C-alpha cells in the first residue's frame, strides 16, 4: 500500500516526535521538564471555564462557519486597542492558529507555488506547506547575527514567478526576534512590488521585552489588502487546549474565498468559542503581569545559557523561545541522550532539536529551541541540567 | 490581488450558501424551518456537558496530537459492539468527520490524482477534494433507480492510473441509500484489484430503517489494510457543535503517516474530547429511541412527498436525508423563492439545492436534499409549505 508523496515527505514534528522517548523516561521514574513545547504553565483565566459552565442549550448545535458573532465582536474590540480596525466580514474564526495558516496558504497558493519564509521558522509551517503542496523558500537568518533579515535586494533575488506569499511570525517563533521598522518596510515593499501576500502570524503580539515596539503588518495602509493576519488565543491566555484561532484581512473578497474552506469543515466548536469570547475581554493588566513573568524567565534562561561553555545564543526580545547553538555535533542525539541516559537527582529536560525549524539542509543540526514556559525554579534546575549534561555528553563522546 | 485556482474553483456549500437569504427572511419576521442542514433537534445527552463541567485543571493545555487516550479507548469499546476490533495505535481523533476525510485524502492522494465517488454525495467532499487538489470522478446513481450502484464492470471502467481511492458514505448522505452486500463486494473487489483505498464515511451507522442490515467496510478482512473508516459523534449523539471525529484504520503505517498531519495542527480541543468520551458510553437504548424517532420522521416526509404532484423520490432506508426531484426547472431558484416570496401564515422552509451534491454538470438541477431532522409537527407543516409553494411557484412561472 502506497501513501501520497506529500505525506511521505512531510517531516515529523521536531517538537513532538521525541514524546515517546520522554514518555519512556517518565515510565522509568524520571521527572522531565518540558522545554520542547510552547505549553505555558500560567493559569488559564477562570473566565473561560466559567462562561462554558453557564452553557444551557439543550442541543449542542453547529455554529456559524465564519465563527460566533460575539467572538468576532470580541476580536474586533481587542484589535481596536492596537489601532487595528476590522469589520465583522473581515474576520473568520478558525481551529487554532494552525488552521488559520493552512487556510491562508490554500487560498493564495496552488500546488508547486512558492512562499518565502524567514528561517528558522515555526516548524509546522513545513507541515502546512506540504499539505498545501507548496515549496518553502527560506530567507536564512542566523543566531550569531540576532536573526536579522538579509538586505532587501537579497530577499528580492529569491522571488520567482511562482512566489505568492511571505509567511512569517512576529515576534518570531523560534527566534524571539522582533522585526525592526526597516525590516518591515523592506518586506512590505517587496510584497507590493511583486504582488505577494504577507501571511503574518502574530500570536505572540504581547510578548515583547526590553522596550521593543510592536507593530502589526496589518497596520501598513499601503498593503492592507495583501496582509493576512493570523492569530490565536493559545499563548496569550494560556489556553492552548481551546484551539481557537482567527484570520483577519481587509481584503473582503479573500475572506469570502476562505469562508468556502470554513464552510467545508462546517464550524469551530461552539463551547470553545463561548469561552474564548470572555477570555479576550480579560483585562490588559492580566497580560502585563504575564509578560512581566516571561521577561523574568527569559532573563534566567538567557543569563544561564551565556554562562555555559560553547553555547551561542542571542538575547530574544519577544515570544518565549530561544534558539541555542550547542557544542555538539547533533542536537537531536543529545536531546535523546538527555532523556535516556542522563539525569540529576532523577530529573532531566526535553528540548526541541532545531533542524526541523529550517528548510535549508544542514542548518540547525547543532541547535535546539528552548521554550521558557516554566516557572523560575524549574527553569533554573533545567539550565543546570543542560550545563552538566553537556559536559558529561561531550566527555562521553571524546573518550 | 489574485486568489489560488483551487479556492477560486471551490463551490460554496449548497447547504450553507443561502443562509444570508434565510437570515433576511427571518429579519422580515418569517419563521424558517431548516430542512437544508443535518442539524438534529434531538437533545444532546447531558453526559456531555456534565463531564465538561467537572473539568478543573488550572491550565487548559494541549492534548495529545492523536487524541485523548480515554476517548480513543471509548471508541475502541464502541466499535467492539459492532465486532470491529481496533487497537489504540489504529485510531486518531480529528476535528469532526470533516478533518478525518481531509486528512485521509491528503494521506493517500497527490495533486491531480483521482478518487471515485458515488454521486450524489455529501457536498463537502467537493471542498475537501479541491483543497487536496484531487479530481472527483463520479459514479453516477439515480433517484429513479433507488441510487443503486452501476455494475462492477462499469465502475471498473472509471479507474485510471491516477485513481487512488473510493470515497463514500454508508448509509448515504444525501441519498439515504444503504449499500447491499453485493454492492459492497463489488467495491471491495475493485479496491483490491486496483490497489485503491476505500475511505468509508460511516457517521450514520445507526440510522438504518426497515430491517436493512448495517455492515462496515472495515469488517472486510481481505481489504482491512486499505479501508480508512471515518466517523463523528455529531449525528449519533446530536452533538454537531462538538466537532469530534475520528479516523480508524488497521494499516498502522498509514495511521503513523496521518499522525504527522495531526501533529501539524497540534491537537483537537481538550474539553470536547472529555465530553465525547462520556457521550460514546451512552446506552444503546438512547440510540434505539433516536433511530425510532427518525424512522417516524422519514415516514412523514416520504409519505407527504409521494402525494405531491410531480415530485419523484425513492424511500430512503438510512441516514436522515432524502433527495427529491421537483417539478421545477431550477431548484435553487425555487428554494430562494420560498424564502423571499412565499410563506403560509408567516412560515416557510429552507431546503438544500442538490446540484452541489453532484460532480457531473447538469445533474441535480431540479433536485433538493431534505433533512428530516425536525419534530413531526414541524415536518408536517414543512411538507405542506412545500406542496402549496410548488403549486404557486409553477403557476407564477407559467403565467
User: What are the respective helix, strand and coil percentages of chain A, to the nearest 5?
Assistant: 45, 15, 40
Sign of CA dihedral B29, B30, B34, B40: positive
Beta bridge partners of A199: A167, A228
**pLDDT of A144 above 90:** no
The owner of cell 521554550 is: A371
- Give the distance from residue A68's alpha carbon to the nearest chain B alpha carbon, in angstroms: 12
Contact B6 A239 (CB under 8 A): no
**Three cell numbers, residue A367:** 541547535
- Tell me which of B241, B258, B373 to substitute to probe the interface with A (most A C-beta atoms closer than 10 Å): B241
Rounded (5°) CA angle B231-B186-B126 = 45
Beta bridge partners of A168: A200
Q: Could you tell me the pLDDT band of residue A367, with boundaries at 50, 70 and 90?
A: very high
Contacts of A22 (CB under 8 A, 6+ apart): A32, A34, A36, A339, A350
A221-241 core/surface letters (b: 16 or more CB in 10 A; e: else): eebeebbbbbbbbbbbbbbbb
Question: What does A264-321 look like in DSSP terms, one character per residue?
Answer: HT----HHHHHHHHHHTTS-HHHHHHHHHHHHHHHHHHHHHHHTSTT-B-PPP-BTTE
Q: Tens digits of per-residue pLDDT, A307-362?
A: 999 999 999 999 999 999 999 999 999 999 999 999 999 999 999 999 999 999 99
Using a 10 angstrom Cβ sphere, with 0-12 exposed, 13-18 middle and 19 or more buried, the burial of residue A16 is buried
Tell me phi and psi for residue A123, to 5 degrees. -55, -30
* Section A33-43 average pLDDT: 92
**Strand-pair category, A367-371 with A321-325:** antiparallel
**pLDDT of A399 above 70:** no
Q: Indicate where chain B has its CATH 3.40.640.10 domain(s).
A: 47-279
Helix (H) / strand (E) element for A263: namely helix A252-264
- Residue from A299, A350, A239, A273 nearest A70 by CA: A273
Q: Contact A56/A390 with Cβ under 8 angstroms?
A: no
- Tell me which of B39, B132, B264 to substitute to probe the interface with A (most A C-beta atoms closer than 10 Å): B264
How far is B183 from B180, CA to CA, in rounded Å? 5
Beta bridge partners of B40: none
- Give the distance from residue B176's alpha carbon to the nearest chain A alpha carbon, in angstroms: 21
Nearest CA in chain B to A8: B257
From B40, B61, B269, residue closest to A272, measured CB to CB: B269
Residues of chain B short of pLDDT 70, as ranges, are 399
B-chain residues within 8 Å CB-CB of A267? 241, 243
Beta bridge partners of B115: B136, B165
Q: Contact A113/A134 with Cβ under 8 angstroms?
A: yes
B286-307 core/surface letters (b: 16 or more CB in 10 A; e: else): eeeebbebbbebbebbbebbee
Looking at residue B12, what is its pLDDT? 83
The owner of cell 459492539 is: B81
How far is A28 from A89, CA to CA, in rounded Å? 53
CA dihedral B303, B308, B311, B314 (to 10 degrees): 10
Contact A59 B48 (CB under 8 A): no
Q: Could you tell me the pLDDT band of residue A38, with boundaries at 50, 70 and 90?
A: confident
Asked, as a colleague might, if the bond just before A280 is cis with ω within 30 of 0, I would say no
Nearest CA in chain B to A227: B1
Q: Indicate where chain A has its CATH 3.90.1150.10 domain(s).
A: 5-43+285-398
pLDDT top residue among A17 and A77: A77
Tell me phi and psi for residue B232, to 5 degrees. -160, 150
From A6, A133, A264, residue closest to B127, measured CB to CB: A264
Looking at residue B399, what is its pLDDT? 60
Multiple choice CATH, A47-279, 3.30.70.3270, 3.40.50.720, 3.90.1150.10, 3.40.640.10: 3.40.640.10
How far is A268 from A245, CA to CA, in rounded Å? 9
**Three cell numbers, residue A99:** 488552521
**Three cell numbers, residue A380:** 533554573
Looking at residue B25, what is its pLDDT? 95
Looking at residue A260, what is its pLDDT? 94
Nearest CA in chain A to B3: A108
Report ipTM for this prediction: 0.94
Looking at residue A323, what is its pLDDT? 96
Contact B98 A266 (CB under 8 A): yes
Contacts of B399 (CB under 8 A, 6+ apart): none
How far is B280 from B264, CA to CA, in rounded Å? 27
- Tell me which of A235, A244, A260 to substitute to probe the interface with B (most B C-beta atoms closer than 10 Å): A260
Q: Tens digits of per-residue pLDDT, A377-393?
A: 999 999 999 999 999 99
Q: Give the distance from CA B278 to its chain's centroid.
A: 23
- Helix residue ranges, H only, B265-375: 270-279, 284-306, 331-340
pLDDT top residue among A16 and B38: B38
How far is A386 from A338, CA to CA, in rounded Å? 8
How far is B104 from B117, CA to CA, in rounded Å? 14
**Strand-pair category, B227-232 with B197-201:** parallel
Rounded (5°) CA angle A303-A304-A307 = 95
- Give the distance from residue B357's alpha carbon to the nearest chain A alpha carbon, in angstroms: 13
Q: Give the distance from CA B366 to its chain's centroid.
A: 21
Contact B241 A133 (CB under 8 A): no
- Tell me which of B2, B3, B65, B257 to substitute to probe the interface with A (most A C-beta atoms closer than 10 Å): B3
Q: Could you tell me the pLDDT band of residue A12, with boundaries at 50, 70 and 90?
A: confident
Question: What does B187-204 look like in DSSP terms, one character per residue?
Answer: HHHHHHHTT-EEEEE-TT
Nearest CA in chain A to B223: A1
Q: Contact B280/B74 with Cβ under 8 angstroms?
A: yes
Nearest CA in chain A to B58: A43
Looking at residue B306, what is its pLDDT? 95
Contact A260 B12 (CB under 8 A): yes
Question: Which segments of chain A are extended strands (E)?
Answer: 31-34, 91-95, 114-119, 135-140, 163-169, 197-201, 227-232, 244-248, 321-325, 347-350, 352-353, 367-371
From A3, A107, A267, residue closest to B4, measured CB to CB: A107
Q: Tens digits of per-residue pLDDT, A271-290?
A: 999 999 999 999 999 999 99
Sign of CA dihedral A300, A303, A308, A312: positive
Q: Give the distance from CA B18 to its chain's centroid.
A: 19
CATH architecture of the domain A5-43+285-398 equals Alpha-Beta Complex (3.90)
From A96, A99, A270, residue closest to B241, measured CB to CB: A270
Contact A5 B110 (CB under 8 A): yes
The radius of gyration of chain B from alpha carbons, rounded to an integer in Å, stands at 21
How far is A216 from A195, CA to CA, in rounded Å? 19
Amino acid at each position: 500500500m502506497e501513501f501520497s508523496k506529500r505525506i511521505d515527505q512531510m517531516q515529523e514534528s521536531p517538537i513532538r516526535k521525541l514524546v515517546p522517548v520522554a514518555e519512556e523516561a517518565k515510565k522509568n521514574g524520571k521527572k522531565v521538564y518540558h522545554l520542547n513545547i510552547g505549553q505555558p504553565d500560567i493559569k488559564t483565566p477562570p473566565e473561560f471555564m466559567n462562561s462554558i459552565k453557564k452553557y444551557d442549550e439543550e442541543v449542542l448545535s453547529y455554529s456559524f462557519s465564519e465563527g460566533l458573532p460575539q467572538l468576532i465582536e470580541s476580536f474586533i474590540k481587542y484589535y481596536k486597542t492596537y489601532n487595528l480596525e476590522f469589520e465583522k466580514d473581515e474576520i473568520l474564526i478558525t481551529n487554532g492558529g494552525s488552521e488559520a495558516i493552512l487556510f491562508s496558504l490554500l487560498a493564495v497558493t496552488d500546488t508547486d507555488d512558492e512562499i518565502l519564509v524567514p528561517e528558522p521558522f515555526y516548524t509546522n509551517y513545513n507541515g502546512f506547506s506540504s499539505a498545501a503542496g507548496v515549496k518553502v523558500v527560506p530567507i536564512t537568518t542566523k543566531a550569531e547575527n540576532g536573526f536579522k533579515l538579509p538586505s532587501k535586494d537579497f530577499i528580492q533575488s529569491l522571488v520567482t514567478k511562482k512566489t505568492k506569499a511571505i509567511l512569517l511570525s512576529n515576534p518570531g517563533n523560534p527566534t524571539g526576534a522582533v522585526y525592526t521598522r526597516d525590516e518591515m518596510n523592506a518586506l512590505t515593499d517587496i510584497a507590493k512590488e511583486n504582488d505577494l501576500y504577507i501571511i503574518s502570524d502574530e500570536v505572540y503580539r504581547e510578548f515583547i521585552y526590553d522596550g521593543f515596539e510592536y507593530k502589526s503588518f496589518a497596520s501598513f495602509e499601503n498593503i492592507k489588502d495583501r496582509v493576512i493576519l493570523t492569530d490565536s488565543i493559545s499563548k496569550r491566555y494560556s489556553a492552548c487546549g481551546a484551539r481557537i484561532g482567527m484570520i483577519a484581512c481587509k481584503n473582503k473578497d479573500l475572506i469570502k474565498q476562505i469562508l468556502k474552506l470554513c464552510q467545508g469543515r462546517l464550524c469551530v466548536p461552539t463551547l470553545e468559542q463561548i469561552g474564548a469570547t470572555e477570555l479576550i475581554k480579560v483585562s490588559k493588566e492580566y497580560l502585563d503581569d504575564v509578560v512581566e513573568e516571561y521577561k523574568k524567565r527569559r532573563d534566567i534562561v538567557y543569563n544561564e545559557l551565556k554562562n555555559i561553555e560553547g553555547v551561542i545564543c542571542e538575547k530574544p526580545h519577544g515570544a518565549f523561545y530561544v534558539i541555542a547553538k550547542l557544542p555538539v555535533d547533533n542536537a537531536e542525539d543529545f536531546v535523546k541522550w538527555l532523556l535516556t541516559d542522563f539525569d540529576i537527582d532523577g530529573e532531566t529536560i526535553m528540548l526541541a532539536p532545531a533542524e526541523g525549524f529550517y528548510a535549508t539542509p544542514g542548518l540547525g543540526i547543532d541547535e535546539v529551541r528552548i521554550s521558557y514556559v516554566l516557572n523560575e525554579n524549574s527553569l533554573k534546575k533545567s539550565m543546570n541540567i543542560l550545563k552538566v549534561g553537556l559536559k558529561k555528553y561531550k566527555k562521553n563522546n571524546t573518550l
